[in-house]
Each structure stands twice: as C-alpha cells, then as structure tokens.
Structure 1
Amino acid sequence: MKSLINLFKIYFYCLLFVLVIFQPYSLFSQSVNIVGRVFDKDTKQPIAGVRVEIQNSNKGTYTTSSGFFRLANISVGTKLVFKSIGYEPKIIDVQQGKDSIIVYLTASVVKLQEVEKIGEIEVDEVVRRAIKQKRQNLSKLNTLQAKVYTKLFLELGGTGFETKYDSSTRRVTFSTTNRPKSKEDSLMIEFVRNFILETFSNVYIDYPRKFQYSEITQRRQTANIPKEFNKIILTDFLNFYNETVKIVNTEFVTPLSDDAFKYYHFEMLGKELYGDLYVYNIKIVPNTKLYPVFSGTMKILEKSYNILEVDVAPSDNAVIDFLDSLRYIQKFATLNENLWHPAYLELRAKIKLGLVKGLFEFGLLLRSVSIISDAIVNQPIPDSILAKSEQAVVVVSPKADSTSLEFWQNNALIETSEKEKQIYEKVDSLAKKIDTTLLRPFNQNKKFDWGFYSDIGELVGYNRVVGYSLSLSPYLEYSGFKLTASTIYSFGQKKLFYNASISFEPKHNSSSLKFSLFTKPAIISLERKMSTTLSSIFAYLFHWDYYDYFQKQGFKIEFSSKNNQVEPYSKFSLSYEHSKDSSLLKKTDRSLFSKAVWRENPQITEGDFDVLDFKFSIGSSLELFGFEIGKSSFSYKIDLNLLFGKKVNGNPFGAFKPQIELQIPTFYTGYKPMYLNLLFEYGIETKETPLQYSFRMPNAWGFGSFQTANTGLYGGRRYYAFHLQHNFSDLFWRAIGLPTYKGRGLEFSLLFSLGYFSTYGETQIYKPTTKPFVEYGFGFSRIPTFVSDFLFWGASFKFNPDRKASKGLGFWLELSFPF
C-alpha cells in the first residue's frame, strides 16, 4: 500500500483529542535548591507519597516512587516536616551549604488499647462525618492562588501502521506493516512513540464567582510535539470533594458525595498513625452495576474527619469511552486551620482509540502527576489578574519557552528518569533531521503558505441542475492575507463558474474581512440543514437531490468575528452583496442507479439585487475538530438572521429568522444524562422579498427536520416550527439486562415536530401548509458500527396522521460520535 498520510498529522490529531478529553489539571513553580530522598528506616526501601512541607506554611510537595522530592527557595534555618501514613513524623532543619538530604522515617507502632478506643465508631459513621467535614471545607474556601507543577508522559502505539523515513526527501510517511523494517524505520517509530510535557503555572480561582485564570510561566516538551499543544492546565484540580467527577463523558458519583450511600458501601480495613492521630483505612465497594462508580480505598483522619488520600479506579461495570484502564491517586493537605484541599494528583490510564478496527487503532499509555507546591487561600485576587482574565482563561508567558535545561534539572518537582532522559535526547536528535513543514498545520508563526483545497465536496459535485462538476481551488496565504481562486466546471450547464476572494485575518485575532467576486450556482431558500457535499453524494447514489438552485453573479464584502472563549461562544457576521440573479434549468434526471424523473428546478425572481445580511449566534455548545458537540449540562444556542435588500429599480425587502435551541438534562445516568431537546424557529419576510430568499420546510434528517414531508414541497413567507426530543439514554436498556456492546446499550428517544408555513396569497415556489404539519415518532442511537469506536449509528422513525399532506412515514439513518 502506498503511503497514506503524514504520520505527524494523524498522531497529533489523536494526541490533541486526548489532551482535550482527558483535560489533566493545573501547574506552577519557581527555583529549587533542596533535593532529597526518603526511605524506610528498617527496610531501607524508598517511601512514595510522603508529604514534605515547610513548617507553618502552605508550601510543600510529595515524594515519588523512588522517594525523591525537591523544594524551591528554602531559606537556611527553615524546618522541613516529613509526614506519611504509617510513619512517625520527622522535622529537619535546612542547613547552610547542604542542598541534598537523605531522610529515614520510622514506622509507627499502634498500641492495641488505642485501637480499641477508637474502634467503637462504625465505618458508615466515619464516612458520614467525612461528608459533613467536606461540606465545611468547601464552604471555607473562597479563593485559591497556587503554584502548580504538572508532568505528563504519553506513550503511543498502534496496529496496522508503522513509520518510514525517506532520507532523500527527509519526510516521514505512514504505511502498512507488511514490509521489512529498516534501522531508520525503527528510529522513527521511537520518535513518534513517546511524548513528555512539563509545565509550571500560576493558578487563580474564585469559587463563589466561578472565576478561573491560569498563566503558564515555564514549559518544555519533547521535540516531536509543537509547543502550542503544551497547555496541560485546566485551572482546576480534579477534586473528590465534588459531588461528581467527570472523565470524558462518564460522570462518577464520588465516595464523599451527599448521595454516597446510594452508590457505595464501605468496609473498615484497619487503622494507621499519621503524626499523633489515627487514620481510618476504608475500602470503597460499589453497590450498583447500573451507574458508573469507583472502587478502591480512602483514608480519613480521626477527630477532624478530613480525607487524606483517595486511591480509586472505575468499577468493573463503569464504562469510559476510549479507556481500557484508569487509576487515580489524590492526596490532600491542610492549607490553614483545618482547611484541606487537594495537593497531589496522579493519573495512570490506558487509552485505545479505534478509528477503524484492525487498521487504524492507536494505543496510548498516559501518566500524569500534578502537585501544588505553594498556595494562598481566601486572599483577594489582584485586579491585574481579573483584568487579564477578560481576554483569556489560559495564557502562556512570553518567557515560558526560554527556560534552559539547567532550570528543569534544578527545579522540576519530579525527577527525570533515565528513560525520560534518553527519550529527550533521542527525540531532540531525530527532530533535527525532519523537514519542519511536517508541523505546518500546527505552526502558527508561518507567514507564507500555498496549496489546494482538498475537500472532496469542493473537488467533485453532482445535482440535477449543475450535473457533474469539477473544481480546482488554489490558494496563497501571507501574513494573514489569503487569496483564493476557485473554478468550477459544470458539465450539465456546460459553462465555467468561478469564485475569487481575498481575505484578511490578523494573527491571534478571531475576526476576518473578506471580498469575493463570483459567478456561481447558489441555493434557493434560507434553509441550510444539509451540507452541499452530502447533498451531492445523496443525489448521485440515492437519487435524492435536496436543494434547488439558481445562478448568482456579482461581488460580496463580509466581516465576521467569533470569540475565543469556550463558553459561551458567539459568532457574528455582516455582509453586503451585489448580484445579478437568474434562473437555472434542470439538466438531468439521471443518477448512478436511477433514471426516474426529478422534480423541476423552480424559477426565481430575476434581476439585480443589493442585500445586507446580518447573522449572530451565541450559545454554550462546544466544537471539537469542527464538529459541534452538545454538553451534558444545560446548554443553549440562539441564532438570529436579519436580511435587508433592494432590487435595483425596485422595492426594498427584508426577512427575519430567529431560533433558539435548548438542551435540558432531566435525569442522572452516569453517562450523558437523559435530556430534553427543544427547538423553536420562526421566520417572517416581506411580500417583496425575492423568491430565492423564501423559507422552506427542511426534511434532511436529524433533529429540526420534518421526515414525512416531500423534499422541496412546503415553504412560504412566514413560518413557525417546534421540535421536541427526549433522550432516555441507555439506562433502561441496561437495567432490564438487554445485550450490551462494551458495557453500553442503545439509547432510546421520543420525537415530536410541528410546523406551519403560510404566504400572503401570491404564487410561491413552495406550497403553504393548510394547517399545522405534525409528526411524532421514536429513535435509537449509539448503535455500534463494530468497525470504529468513534462512529455509532442512529435510526429514527416519524409518523404523520395526515396521509394526504405527507408521506405518512419517514425515517433517517445517521452516524454520530460517542461524545
């Protein structure tokens, strides 16, 4: 098989996906001058997870599996406190000229009578008191300013593919594995297998105001990943104090939630000493197979009932998309006067991304550690930080990438292992041999670029008016300016269309200005439920041409802008267009498998027009790789479209089209909750509005369409539509024991749609409905494709009791993502 695609692009998109859905945690740091190791005095074995902190302060760290620790800016005479469950605490003075220390801790001896004295309390009562103390901790914490260090290690692997390095072109290619491996191939496999990312950051959180802001002050990463990807900071620690924690699309009830006893039961494993107090070692046992929960252990301090440590993994019945295994270790530390907060978080995960089973499969081992090295609580956040947060939630300091190797050797809170040193050296060495244009999609500093748009929908098209069409779309880009010249030849119309444009989008700016000059086929009506690419595919393969068309010749000036915030997002565009519009005739009745007669292409209002088009959207949906993704919490989307125009030597006209979509969670399921989707649409336009700007009843597929209506039949000057969908998730499917796929069942939905279209009595392209058009039905989703972990089938069926006005029965089949 020939080389399929640049390996970097595939790996980086998968890596970016992982960094998005497994949003690790927070980070921060400064210079360090004390390093050491902690051992068991009797066994001489290293002790992991020892809390090392400056006495009477919030500054500290934890030891690694090798007993290693490092602390920054420690003054001579400072007292370091070493505390670990099961060991006697120890205090050591920092001495002049001694920046490396070895510490031995003595195992605690638990006296039998003391155990009996505290053993009277039941384990459930311990947990109840810990839940109460958790609430008090949360109520005490208003603001947090923290210095956090995070380290992320990723190891990639896959099946069906390997890398090949061509020394003549200095390029890496992605190919099948049925060929001998060269030495260069083996080196390149190692080059793309391991990624290391480290960051120090300042984190600012105001909990009552839900304010979060973070600044990455130092960062480094292996040379096989662009620095722009190294933003492993989420402005908030994953906190088991919360009622639930969300991992990808799975929402776990925590063992200290108010409803903990509905989902867990607890067993006392024993007691250990932590300083002068005892610690309850409690086993967390799931008591449900229906909801995702954790299993593992937690350790709770006597008297105060603060949680010291949680070590958990998802239960056997919990399903997390793309994860084979996962383990969380979280440790808590006192910040001031019995106020405890997470200070250490370790995550280990095994991820499997099955793009195409047996062919495109990517395995990923992930380990991340995040440590709060210093913290200030309940102090006002500086006004300068509040002002910066209005522009962005996460920023990178201009000097973040200027730190030297020596800085990381002296300051990293987690030591660099010999394996990691070898990875850094090998990747850095190999990176010097690779053409840097491999990173072009991620190189934001590149000024000049050129190429051809390769979207199949832009290259090849088909419909009953244009017939077959071929397109060539070269572009030139320099310092924010882009020149595009698209030519489209229509074999049906036997003519050449074109669309030339020049646009300007300033660097690091979400606004753009574009000027276009065109003669092109355009879509009749303001309805755009289906992409033109899919419309072409359906027309050619299934003899279903969704749209109607006309010719537009003229120019357009458009300004658009969108915000940089994840939520709420907003989009805005304002355009002026002058065009000569003319009708086009149908040119074919033929598709690949049919010669049935297609509907005629309607005639439009011909003439010269000046049109001002305003569009605005705001909402809380998310976008990932260009796909809009609904949230598991309440979300909304509001769209407004205002159109004003005038026919040359004619009357002015206008149209107004608002819509609002709501997604309302109804019941907790542990995965995406049961939810109610509501869509309200309205449209009105003047009698003088050209026919090509009419409203049309959509019947593409999916939520917001009418499946029992004939394509291109109903429409008008005024309309309203209401759509309702309640997704009951797969909870009932799993509850009654029906067969599951990877632990999940089919999701069931109920559907309802109502629409009404009317005119002012004049002749129209589309017919008005004489009464409200009503549909109801049901659907199933999350149907396995069995060939990919990313794609699932969805099927819905809708019925209309009015057989004269509709087809009576309509259905659609679609592909969807699991998130």
Structure 2
Amino acid sequence: MIQPVSEYNLQYHMYHGSSREGGSGNEGPKKALKRGLLILALVFVLIGIERAKAVIFSGTAVLTEQQDTLRVTGLVTDAETGEGLPAVNIQVEGTFRGAITNNEGFFDFPVPKFPATLTFRFIGYETESLTFTAETRDQLVALQPSSIELEALVFTGEDPANHIMERVILRKQLWQNELENWRADAYTRTRLSNNEGIVSISESLTQTWWKRGRGFREFMIDQRQTSNLLADQNFAGTRNLPNFYDDEIEIAGFQVIGVTHPNAFRYYDFRVEGRRYIGNQMVWDIRVIPKTRLQPVFEGTVSVLADEYALLEVNLVPGEMIFFPPPIQEFNLRYQQQFSNYGGPFWLPVDVRINGVVEVGFPGFRFPEIRFDLVSSIREYEVNIAVPDSVFGTQRSLTRLSEPERARLNRSFEHEPEAIPLSEAERLAYETIDSTQTISDAFQPSGFLARIAGEGAVQTGPPTQREFRRSVSYRPQLRFNRAETFYAGLNPRFDITPGLRIEALLGYGTGTETWSWGGSVLYRVPQLERRLGLRLTYDADTRARINPGQYNFTFASLNTLIGNADYFDYYRSERFSLTGIWIPGQRIAGQPLRAEIGFFQESQQSLEQTTSYSFRGGVVQRPNVPIEDGEMRGIEARVRLGAAPASFGVAGGSALTLGLKHANDDWMGGDFGFTRYEAQLDLRIETFLRRRFFTNTLDLRLKAFTHTGDLPVQAFGGLDSRLSVFAPYGGFRTTSNRILEGEHGAALFWEHNFRSAPFELIGARWLARQGLGLLIHGGSGRTWISDDRLETLGFQPFYDNAFRHEAGISLNGIFSLARIDANWRLDRPGFYAGVSIARIF
C-alpha cells in the first residue's frame, strides 16, 4: 500500500559539489559535463527508491501522539550457530507496535510500559516470546531453527504453487476492498557507498497516512544525516517505497507487474521450492519465474503463510527486461519485504529493504561503483480509523511539521536514537564524515577523458567575480555561405537583474564587406517575471529567405564548406521589433502555454553570390535568389502549447504551434500586403510495452502553411530536407541540400520507435543492452505555387507539382548517440543512406 515511485527532480545541492556556502558558479563546460554525468548516475541509483520531488514545507496536522520513553534492546541469534539474524520481525504482545533487527541481529525500540512481552518471528525458526522488565530490558534472544524442508519437491500432479498464488490473489482482493485507510509510524535510513566505504547516511522518523481515493501523506517528525548533507538533501521516507502486495510497482520508471496482480499468471510461472515453518505454522516458499520476454516483471521467491494464504515475505529482483542502455553499465537492485497481519484480514508491510549497485561510464570516462542501501521499519498501524481533515488538507505528499507539533508527538532521534540500530561502520561514518566530503568528491570519475575534464576546470574567483561571470555570457557566431563568405561575430548577453537582460550583436562578413550590429532588451515585469515580459530588438544582419527551422546558419555552414550545395538563400535585413510575451501560470491540459505578439518594421535588400569556395574545391554554387526589395511593416504573433520540440528529433513530445505574420501596405505604409499562416502539430503516442521506462512510441508531425494577399518570395514557406548524409526527423530524407518551397505547403512526418524489443524477441539481448533499437519512419507532403506565379518568379525554385512519399528504417543507438538511416522514395525511384542523431527519449 506504499505508493510507488513515479518521477524525479533532483535539484539538490548534494549533487552540485558545493559547500554550505555555495558553489563557484563558473565551472566551465568540461567540469559541468563531469558533474552532469554524476547526476545521471545518482538519478539511476535513486530513481526506483525515493521521489525527491515532494515539496517540504512548515505546517501542522492532527497526528497521533506518542508517549514512549521506555526502550528495550538486544540481539537475536540462531540458537545453533550463534549468528545474528537480520530483519527478525518483533512485535509487542497485544499491540501492533514493533520493529525489525538490523543486519547484525540487533534491535532497539520503545515499549509503552514494563513489563513488556515481545514476540520474535522469523521464517525457518520457532516463534519465541520473551518478557522484558526494567531490570531485563537488554536481552539475548536465541531462536531455535524449525523443521526446514528446502529440498526440491516432486509432485505427481500439478505443482500446487499456482493454486496457492491464486488463493493469495483472491484473499488480497477481498481484504483490499475493505481497507479504507491506515496510518503508521516509520523509521527509514538510506546509505550511499562507493568502493572505499560509506559516503553519506540520512535517516527520518515519519508518520504516514493512506486513504482510499486520496493517496498518501507523510509527515516528517525528525531527521538526521551525516554532516556532508543538508536537511533538504535527506531522501529518507516511506511514502514512495514499493509495496509488493500492489498490482503494479514502479521500479526506476518501469511499471512492473506485481506477483499478486489479478493477471499474474499471464506473466509468471510459479513453482514450489520448499516448505518451512514460522513457529507451528507452515510457510510455502515459491519460486517466481518470468513467463514474458518483453514486459517488466520480477524474479525471485515469495513466502506464503499456508493457513492464511497471505504473503509473508518477498525476495525479488527486477527481471532481465528491466535494463538501461549505455552509459548505464550495470543496474542491479534487490528488494526484500515482510508483511504482518494488522487486525481482521489486513496484511500490511512490516519493512522494506533495498540494496542496489549502479555503474555508469563509457570508454575513457567511468564513475566508481555506486551502492545504495535502504531499510525502513513500519509499525504502529491503525486501520480504518477516523482521519482528521487536516491530514489531507494539503496536496503535498511530504510535510515538515512545525516545532509545536513535533514536541507534542514526543518522537525524535533524541528519544529514538536507533529505531533500527546502526552498524559499526555506520556509527563510524557519523563520527568521521565532515561537511567537506561532498558526494561529487566521493564519486570522482576515472579515465583519460576524466583527466581532461579535470584539467579544463576553471578556477573560482572572489564572490563578486563569480556573481559577475554568472551574469555575463559571450556567444561567438561563425558561419560560411555563398553570400557573406566568412562571417565572424560576437553575441554578448548581460543579465543585469532577474527581470532585465540585455544582448548585443557585432560581426563582419568578408564577402559582403558589411558589418552586422544590433541588440535587444528583455524586460520581465516584477512579480510576474515568469509570466509577462517585453522584448525590444534592433539589428542589421543577414537572414535566410526561407528557414523551415530544422537547421541554423552555423550547422548549414559546415555542410557548405565540405563542398555541398548551400542550403539557404540570403538577403540583407535591417529590422526593429517590439514584442510582448505572456506565459500563464496555469497549464492547459497539462501543457505549458507561451504566447508572443508584436510589431515589426524591416528593410529588406537582395544579396548577390560572392563565393563558391569549399575545402575540396571544384564546386559551383547556384546563384543567390534575389528577393523583392522594400519595407515590410506589420504584426507577428505566435502561440505554442507544449514544450518546444527538441533539436534534430533527439526526443519526442506533444506540442501545437500556431504562427501568423501580417504585413500591411495601407495604414502601416509598407511595400507589402499579405497575411501568412503556419501551424505545426507534434504528437507522441505510446503504443507498445507501455509499462517500460522507455516505451514504444509513435511520433507524428503535421506541418502546414498558407497565405492570403500578395506574398513576396522572401515570405515563402518551406519543408526541410537532409544536409548531405545527415537527415534528422522532420524533413524529407531522400532529398538533399534544398528546401522544398512554395506559397502553400503541407506535410506529415512519422516515426515509430520499437526500441530494443525486436532484438529481445529474437534473443539478441546483448544488442539490446548496448542500447540498440529499430525505428521505421516516413513522410508525405508537397508545396504549391500557382502557375501564374511560377511564370513571374525570375528563378527556378526547388518545387515539385506533386506529393512526395518516402519510408525508411533505422538502427538507433550506435555508440548511444547516433543512428544509421535507410530511406526509399515511394512516388518515384530514389534511395538514401546516412546518419543522424539517435532518438534518445
């Protein structure tokens, strides 16, 4: 019943490598890359364990008071070997309060009064009850092994495991229908380690509530951590830990089918491994065997109490289909959990124990092995009780209690120093780890690339210098084309205040022998700086006659320099604009909205071709198309619902973008009169294997543009093609180095990502684990130019008076970052083979 993990937002100082006074803020790209990879590593360590996104705030709630001041301690051992027994279930007789032993068998927890009788239960051992008094509050408890039958059993008929699990699932459905709510107290400890030992420890004392239809609310009563962590870096808690009685359990972003799912027999085979006893009650040990090769499932063992048909313990690991592509080299987690009866038919978790190892890296750059350990003891359950309205009066899943509330509850690490006793190594870690031993320092990467990154780090300066460097950035601009020849410029940006940004532009083109200059001011309204802004811009620069948006000038320049046809046509522009920006705080259908509208005035002038230079020589570029010179004045507007599409299609998503450009030759006094409309709809649809972290997806892009009025050639629309052998999503791959242009246009591009599923189906799991996947894709579209306009253009446009159709297949994830594409033209003969950037998400 403990809610599974769903997402992460690791915006914590512990991964910034900063001291308590803050980081340098000017590290440089190489060190930033190194730190970013460490964040990635830690994300995959924590992603199946705890959701750090929960908002912590000061508040109050009506919670159950505790009056515990008396404690019992001791050691639970195997009576025959003397070895300490881990995770022994301890319960105070006549109550639902209890605890578990640590990995060495020690226990330490409060009791309501003396004398107190404690019952010790552990599968494979006789149940033992002992009475503790003020004089005997510290005792050694030796449990006698019971009759154990771990040998393989042979059945002449059907293995009874399926019948046993069928009864478990039926019983669960019956009692879960009666469960309305519960509350419990918990102690949780998380520990990060590397090859040399413990890196950090965080602990929490919490109270958790669950209510049908409302979910979970957890209240932080007290917490402590090693001195290299701050309070808001404490990840310990229970609200997002897995409960293996749930139908589905989220592990590292995978929706894993639980062993008690109503359709569990579609995905699992069950086999009886043996019988054991807990006291005088028989326990079935059942092997869980994945039946599916594609869906995320568990494997391991579960233990079922025979008389009750109830889960007593699970010991499971994610199945082999739960894996991540490089740079994740290893991702291993083990889950252990016990259950107990809490009145009536209800069986709820006693504990959660998770151990994990993650390795992240690639040739020349590898992080140390990251080990994660979590243990949580959940006790003091109260089931189907009256729930105070204040508990669910907030939508926040985690609330830090106010000091008066904490005092009233009388629970703290001062009263409960070791709800599950620390090991000697953990005690030593608390004594020796200081605030300078950061997480980043503990997981320094190795390899020659790591050494290069370390050498490239920028030294920190005085605070005033750091603040200045954070507020100023310099972006060089370099490009080459047949109109400007070589162009070099600088685009500095100054963040004066959180609401005021100033940018400048200065550059020179050797072919046109002209300077480019300009600047902009972005002002965000105080108190509304994330919602309302105003941008004033002036520049004199070179622009592309048609730019569908797939490539920028710099990227296209590289293609031209190696001897391919120049992708764009160019003209000279002197432009002034004033634009209002609105970003409402509320999302629409869960998507962000951004709207811009503004006035522009632009003086436009044709440019001639000045060069056909390339590195390989012998290339003659086509003439630069002349535009219709004149003054263009009007209004521009753009609205986007959803996130902006990722460059080159590395990630998919859903968004709708609408644009309008109106130029007026009447009351605004310009030389052109037209209205141009454009729209782009991106859709991402999850198709198959939707339980996985990376599901199979279908991406669709519908793009269209049209106009009214007299459209000049510099306002034509276009559809992208590939640059030489590089062909990202969103353009025609069987067409090279030319924009398909027109007065009107429409196209549909699609791409289905099967990810690694085809390789898994044929048993090539090694290829799947290298991150390789298959995609199929295609596109259909055309542009329109009227016959009358074609006769008066004065140049030959790249235009087909028909629809283009193409389809292809790709091998995705070559070296994690690239893909190989093969495409066929369907409306006429044509074939293309090339590369592009991998579809990562």
Q: TM-score range by the shorter chain?
A: 0.7 to 0.9
Matched residue, 1:351: 358
Do structure 1's residue 641 and structure 2's residue 658 form an aligned pair?
A: yes
Residues 365-514 of structure 1 correspond to what in structure 2 (within 5 A)?
365-373=371-379, 388-389=394-395, 407=413, 410-411=416-417, 413-430=419-436, 449-451=467-469, 460-465=478-483, 467-476=486-495, 478=497, 480-492=498-510, 493=512, 494-504=514-524, 511=531, 513=533
Separation of aligned partners in 1, 2:114 and 2:321: 53
- Tell me if the contact between 2:77 and 2:105 (Cα under 8 Å) persists in the aligned partners: no
Matched residue, 1:777: 808
Shift in CA distance, 300/658, structure 1 to aligned 2, threshold 3 Å = same
Query: Which segment drifts farther, 74-83 or 637-646?
Result: 74-83
Matched residue, 2:627: 603
Separation of aligned partners in 2, 1:243 and 1:407: 35
Q: Deviations over 1:48-95 (max 9, x none)?
A: 212334566665443221234455695678775543323444566786
Matched residue, 2:334: 327
Q: Deviations over 1:134-189 (max 9, x none)?
A: 444554455565555443322347xxxxxxxxxxxxxxxxxxxxxxxxxxxxxxx9
Displacement, 1:329?
1.3
Displacement, 1:44?
4.3
Do structure 1's residue 65 and structure 2's residue 103 form an aligned pair?
A: yes
Separation of aligned partners in 1, 2:360 and 2:551: 28
Do structure 1's residue 47 and structure 2's residue 105 form an aligned pair?
A: no
- Tell me if the contact between 1:280 and 1:300 (Cα under 8 Å) persists in the aligned partners: yes
Shift in CA distance, 629/779, structure 1 to aligned 2, threshold 3 Å = closer
Matched residue, 1:589: 612
Separation of aligned partners in 1, 2:271 and 2:432: 48
Higher relative contact order (CA closer than 8 Å, sequence separation 6+): 2
Separation of aligned partners in 1, 2:642 and 2:764: 40
Separation of aligned partners in 2, 1:77 and 1:303: 31
1:240 alignment partner, one of 216, 241, 244: 244
Aligned-residue CA RMSD (Å)? 5.1
Q: Deviations over 1:478-532 (max 9, x none)?
A: 4x33534343423345414343434448799854635343415555557323456
- Tell me if the contact between 1:290 and 1:734 (Cα under 8 Å) persists in the aligned partners: yes
Residues 68-467 of structure 1 correspond to what in structure 2 (within 5 A)?
68-71=106-109, 74=112, 81-89=119-127, 101-102=138-139, 104=141, 106-107=143-144, 109-110=146-147, 122-141=160-179, 148-156=186-194, 194-200=199-205, 208=213, 218-222=222-226, 224=228, 230-231=234-235, 235-248=239-252, 252-274=256-278, 277-286=281-290, 293-314=297-318, 319-321=323-325, 322=328, 323-354=330-361, 356-373=362-379, 388-389=394-395, 407=413, 410-411=416-417, 413-430=419-436, 449-451=467-469, 460-465=478-483, 467=486
Matched residue, 1:714: 740
Displacement, 1:105?
5.3
- Tell me if the contact between 2:110 and 2:416 (Cα under 8 Å) persists in the aligned partners: no
Displacement, 1:782?
3.1
- Tell me if the contact between 1:332 and 1:341 (Cα under 8 Å) persists in the aligned partners: yes
Separation of aligned partners in 2, 1:53 and 1:119: 40
Query: Which segment drifts farther, 749-758 or 229-238?
Result: 229-238
Instruction: Give percent identity, aligned residues only.
Output: 17
Separation of aligned partners in 2, 1:739 and 1:111: 38
- Tell me if the contact between 2:108 and 2:418 (Cα under 8 Å) persists in the aligned partners: yes
Unaligned runs of 5+ in 2: 1-27, 57-62, 442-455
Separation of aligned partners in 1, 2:337 and 2:492: 53
Separation of aligned partners in 1, 2:156 and 2:140: 32
2:550 alignment partner, one of 522, 529, 537: 529
Displacement, 1:423?
3.8
Do structure 1's residue 517 and structure 2's residue 533 form an aligned pair?
A: no
Matched residue, 1:172: none
Displacement, 1:420?
3.5
User: Greater Rg, structure 1 or structure 2?
Assistant: 2
Displacement, 1:298?
0.9
- Tell me if the contact between 1:449 and 1:477 (Cα under 8 Å) persists in the aligned partners: no
Displacement, 1:326?
2.6
Do structure 1's residue 800 and structure 2's residue 805 form an aligned pair?
A: no
Letter in 2 for 1:778: I
Letter in 1 for 2:487: Y
Classify the secondary structure of the residue corresponding to 1:338. Answer: coil
Shift in CA distance, 77/627, structure 1 to aligned 2, threshold 3 Å = farther
Shift in CA distance, 431/256, structure 1 to aligned 2, threshold 3 Å = closer
Residues 635-784 of structure 1 correspond to what in structure 2 (within 5 A)?
637-643=654-660, 645-647=662-664, 648-650=668-670, 651=673, 653=675, 655-666=677-688, 672-687=694-709, 694-700=716-722, 701-737=727-763, 740-741=766-767, 743=769, 746-759=772-785, 762=789, 769-783=800-814
Shift in CA distance, 82/358, structure 1 to aligned 2, threshold 3 Å = same
Matched residue, 1:169: none
Matched residue, 1:176: none
- Tell me if the contact between 2:472 and 2:495 (Cα under 8 Å) persists in the aligned partners: no
Shift in CA distance, 711/278, structure 1 to aligned 2, threshold 3 Å = same
Displacement, 1:351?
1.1
Classify the secondary structure of the residue corresponding to 1:127. Answer: helix
- Tell me if the contact between 1:448 and 1:477 (Cα under 8 Å) persists in the aligned partners: no
Letter in 2 for 1:709: T
Separation of aligned partners in 2, 1:553 and 1:818: 38
- Tell me if the contact between 2:125 and 2:279 (Cα under 8 Å) persists in the aligned partners: yes
Shift in CA distance, 54/471, structure 1 to aligned 2, threshold 3 Å = farther
Separation of aligned partners in 1, 2:770 and 2:501: 48
Separation of aligned partners in 1, 2:98 and 2:295: 37
- Tell me if the contact between 2:676 and 2:705 (Cα under 8 Å) persists in the aligned partners: no
Shift in CA distance, 649/4, structure 1 to aligned 2, threshold 3 Å = closer
Shift in CA distance, 378/658, structure 1 to aligned 2, threshold 3 Å = farther
- Tell me if the contact between 1:522 and 1:552 (Cα under 8 Å) persists in the aligned partners: no
Query: Which segment drifts farther, 135-144 or 43-52?
Result: 135-144
- Tell me if the contact between 1:142 and 1:207 (Cα under 8 Å) persists in the aligned partners: yes
- Tell me if the contact between 1:525 and 1:693 (Cα under 8 Å) persists in the aligned partners: yes
Letter in 2 for 1:815: I
Matched residue, 2:592: 570
Displacement, 1:280?
1.1
Classify the secondary structure of the residue corresponding to 1:483. Answer: strand
Separation of aligned partners in 2, 1:335 and 1:387: 27
Q: Deviations over 1:240-275 (max 9, x none)?
A: 334554544666544334454455433323333335
- Tell me if the contact between 2:41 and 2:358 (Cα under 8 Å) persists in the aligned partners: no
Separation of aligned partners in 1, 2:175 and 2:566: 61
Displacement, 1:554?
2.2
TM-score, scaled relative to structure 2? 0.74
